[in-house]
């Protein structure tokens, strides 16, 4: 794998990290109480117990990781960046009421708003150890500018790896859907926009910083034709497919009324189960739905905080894992999960799944860490490149500080990371390059991003109020 990385002058420069605990999240869950990681260029050259090998050439940086845990970078599998500028609204609503309350505002977004919101969403996640982010963007008002380009630009500015799921909606109220007529695209326009995004930005090479996926929004906002044609387009182009599925009882009822079957059967009938598909939520799944996901290799983006915020229910993650379903974690949009963090979702996933299964070991700390790293990499189709600390994989890793007030009395580092408070990030590398140092972003200024996002949120509120 390393041999296919792009050779450049930096490729032989080495960063050595020593004296830290390491959770590799490899297939055997290998851990080292005290170990080292050597990064050469953009890949991992060595990982193991004790100090790094001696005699390494071109070491540009040597880091003492005492008191820290090194893990793979976190991978977020579901988000809606634009919602960063509509946080804290419709706070006591269920999914359908919440959507209906927010659609009119969302239909007013434009390119500068989406850019500011994407920067805010990405900065918040990156500061908490996310090294690969994905976004599901499905609101494309006419004349709004280049929204796809705005998101790709923001990811490059913050410095994280990015999968943009180019979403779409074409079933509005007049066709029995939930969104108002002014908030949707035509079927043809949605497919054309998706194809353009793929042709312009999708890079399938090893170490790629941008992937594009085809991503119609949800059964109650898209036509059957868009689902079918979207799947055909994605498979013709060789990109992944993403959508929302089985989020609420209301959605299940909608599918039975309109299509005469539940969401999973409907997705299967339209070509939307498969190894190249991942779906957000999957809360209301019966045994046969879980079996269908396992049989087809369909992935799940588990979003525990959002599901709790909207009272959607608790996904059966322990049963999914037992059946062999690939599962990753998702923040979901920050209009339904205002914190916008992924590292705290490790803990939330663990707690909520124990409640859901009524079982104290339903999800362990190590399983939670795996969901947030390797599980996410698998769901995004990148398990050969990221998601675990292994020789030849990309150098996307996080050094968590665990010797401070929040964690110093918890002996086991993985327990400290998952059960404890949100851990400070001393260093986060993407492609071997620092994105976070000393709990601060290195490429962008957090205060500037916060100010810009606030200004754009206020502009959106004014535009929406003006009708
Ligand atoms: Zn979502």
What is the DSSP track for 167-220?
EE----GGGT-SS-GGG---HHHHHHHHHHHHHHH---STT-SEEEEEEE--TT
**Is the fold of 3-72+389-441 the same as that of 77-379?**
no
Q: Is the pLDDT of residue 27 over 60?
A: yes
**Ligand 1 mean position to 432 CA, how many Å?**
30
**Ligand 1 mean position to 351 CA, how many Å?**
21
**Ligand 1 mean position to 306 CA, how many Å?**
8
Mean pLDDT across 352-377: 97
Mean pLDDT across 201-205: 98
**Ligand 1 mean position to 457 CA, how many Å?**
20
pLDDT of residue 369: 98
**Ligand 1 mean position to 307 CA, how many Å?**
10
* For the chain, domain boundaries: 3-72+389-441, 77-379
- What is d(CA 332, CA 134) in angstroms, rounded to the nearest whole number? 10
Mean pLDDT across 227-254: 96
Q: Is the pLDDT of residue 1 over 70?
A: no
Residue 5 pLDDT level (bands cut at 50, 70, 90): very low
Residue owning tokens 């050259």: 45
**Ligand 1 mean position to 328 CA, how many Å?**
14
Half-sphere exposure of 87 toward its Cβ, with a 13 Å CA cutoff?
Answer: 18
What CATH number is given for 77-379 in this structure? Answer: 3.20.20.140
**Ligand 1 mean position to 222 CA, how many Å?**
14
Mean pLDDT across 123-146: 97
pLDDT of residue 47: 98
**Ligand 1 mean position to 248 CA, how many Å?**
12
**Ligand 1 mean position to 79 CA, how many Å?**
6
pLDDT of residue 467: 79
Q: Is the pLDDT of residue 58 over 90?
A: yes
**Ligand 1 mean position to 405 CA, how many Å?**
34
Residue 167 pLDDT level (bands cut at 50, 70, 90): very high
Mean model confidence pLDDT for the chain:
95
pTM (two decimals): 0.96
pLDDT of residue 12: 84
**Ligand 1 mean position to 426 CA, how many Å?**
30
Q: Is the pLDDT of residue 10 over 50?
A: no
pLDDT in tens, 107-128: 999 999 999 999 999 999 999 9
**Ligand 1 mean position to 243 CA, how many Å?**
8
Phi–psi pair at 179, nearest 5 degrees? -70, 150
The percentage of residues in the chain with a pLDDT greater than 70, rounded to a whole number, is 98
Residue 11 pLDDT level (bands cut at 50, 70, 90): low
**Ligand 1 mean position to 391 CA, how many Å?**
34
pLDDT in tens, 382-418: 999 999 999 999 999 999 999 999 999 999 999 999 9
What CATH number is given for 3-72+389-441 in this structure? Answer: 2.30.40.10
């Amino acid at each position: 794998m390393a041999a296919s990385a792009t050779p450049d002058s930096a490729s032989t420069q080495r960063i050595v990290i020593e004296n830290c605990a390491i959770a590799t999240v490899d297939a055997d869950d290998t851990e080292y109480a005290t170990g080292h990681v050597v990064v050469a260029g953009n890949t991992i050259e060595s990982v193991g117990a004790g100090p790094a090998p001696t005699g390494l050439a071109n070491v540009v940086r040597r880091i003492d990781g005492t008191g820290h845990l090194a893990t793979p970078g976190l991978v977020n599998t579901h988000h809606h960046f634009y919602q960063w500028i509509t946080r804290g609204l419709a706070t006591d609503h269920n999914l359908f009421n919440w959507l209906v309350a927010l659609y009119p505002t969302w239909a007013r977004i434009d390119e500068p708003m989406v850019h500011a919101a994407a920067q805010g969403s990405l900065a918040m996640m990156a500061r908490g150890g996310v090294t690969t982010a994905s976004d599901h963007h499905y609101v494309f008002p006419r004349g709004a500018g280049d929204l796809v380009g705005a998101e790709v630009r923001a990811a490059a500015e913050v410095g994280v790896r990015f999968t943009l799921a180019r979403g779409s909606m074409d079933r509005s109220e007049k066709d029995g859907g939930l969104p108002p007529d002014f908030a949707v695209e035509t079927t043809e326009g949605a497919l054309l926009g998706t194809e353009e995004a793929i042709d312009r930005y999708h890079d399938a090479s090893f170490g790629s910083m941008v992937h594009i996926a085809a991503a119609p929004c949800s059964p109650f906002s898209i036509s059957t034709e868009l689902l079918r044609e979207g799947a055909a387009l994605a498979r013709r182009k060789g990109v992944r497919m993403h959508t929302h599925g089985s989020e609420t009882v209301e959605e299940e009822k909608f599918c039975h009324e309109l299509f005469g079957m539940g969401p999973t059967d409907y997705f299967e009938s339209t070509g939307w189960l498969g190894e190249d598909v991942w779906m957000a939520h999957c809360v209301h799944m019966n045994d046969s739905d879980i079996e269908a996901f396992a049989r087809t290799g369909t992935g799940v983006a588990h979003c525990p905080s959002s599901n709790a915020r909207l009272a959607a229910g608790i996904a059966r993650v322990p049963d999914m894992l037992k059946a062999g379903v690939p599962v990753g974690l998702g923040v979901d949009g920050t209009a339904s999960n205002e914190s916008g963090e992924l590292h705290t979702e490790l803990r939330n996933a663990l707690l909520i799944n124990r409640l859901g299964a009524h079982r104290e070991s339903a999800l362990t700390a190590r399983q939670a860490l795996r969901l947030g790293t390797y599980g996410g990499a698998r769901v995004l189709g990148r398990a050969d490149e990221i998601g675990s600390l292994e020789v030849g994989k990309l150098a996307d890793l996080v050094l968590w500080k665990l010797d401070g007030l929040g964690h110093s009395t918890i002996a086991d580092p993985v327990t400290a990371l998952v059960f404890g408070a949100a851990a400070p990030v001393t260093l986060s590398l993407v492609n071997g390059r620092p994105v976070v140092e000393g709990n601060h972003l290195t490429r962008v200024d957090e205060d500037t991003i916060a100010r810009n996002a606030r200004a754009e949120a206020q502009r959106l509120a004014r535009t929406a109020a003006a009708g």
